[in-house]
């Protein structure tokens, strides 16, 4: 069961200050899922709707499912995300989703599994 849903209308991939940012944002720009990693590699920061709801290496699994991007977070980090463990990023009408998913697959490596 999904705990949080982000209905993304646009996605971005941006390199800035030595890091790559991948974001999926809703129409109001209040709900989002954002990933960040240094361009040299290292831990992937995941943030959900607010910088206070984020952590390094929080995503245990990512996949593309019938509803879009499906994320499962590590149980030990659930408190950092308001006790959410499963996040769905709906991509039905998301501009830029294809490029963002390609970049995210490269960023997450083996965490991003084939659906």
Alpha helices in the chain (DSSP H): 97-108
Q: What average pLDDT does the structure give for the chain?
A: 94
Each residue's pLDDT tens digit, 75-90:
999 999 999 999 999 9
Residue range(s) defining the domain that contains residue 10: 4-111
Residue 1 has pLDDT above 70, yes or no: no
Give the pTM. 0.94
Number of structural domains in the chain: 1
- Residue pair 20/39 in contact (Cβ under 8 Å)? The answer is yes
Structure tokens at 84: 């959410």
Which residues are CB-neighbours of 30 under 8 A, at least 6 positions away?
49
Mean local confidence (pLDDT), 49-78: 94
Mean pLDDT of 46-54: 94
Task: Give 2-41 pLDDT, tens digit per residue.
Answer: 799 999 999 999 999 999 999 999 998 899 999 999 999 9
């Amino acid at each position: 069961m999904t705990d949080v849903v982000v209905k993304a209308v646009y996605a971005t991939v941006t390199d800035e200050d030595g890091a790559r940012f991948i974001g999926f944002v809703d129409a109001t720009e209040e709900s989002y899922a954002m990933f960040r990693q240094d361009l040299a590699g290292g831990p992937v920061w995941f943030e959900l709707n607010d910088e206070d709801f984020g952590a390094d290496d929080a995503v245990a699994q990512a996949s593309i499912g019938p509803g879009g991007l499906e994320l499962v977070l590590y149980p030990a980090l659930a408190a950092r995300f308001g006790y959410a463990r499963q996040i769905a990023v709906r991509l039905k009408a998301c501009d830029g989703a294809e490029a963002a998913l390609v970049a995210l697959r490269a960023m997450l490596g083996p965490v991003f599994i084939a659906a």
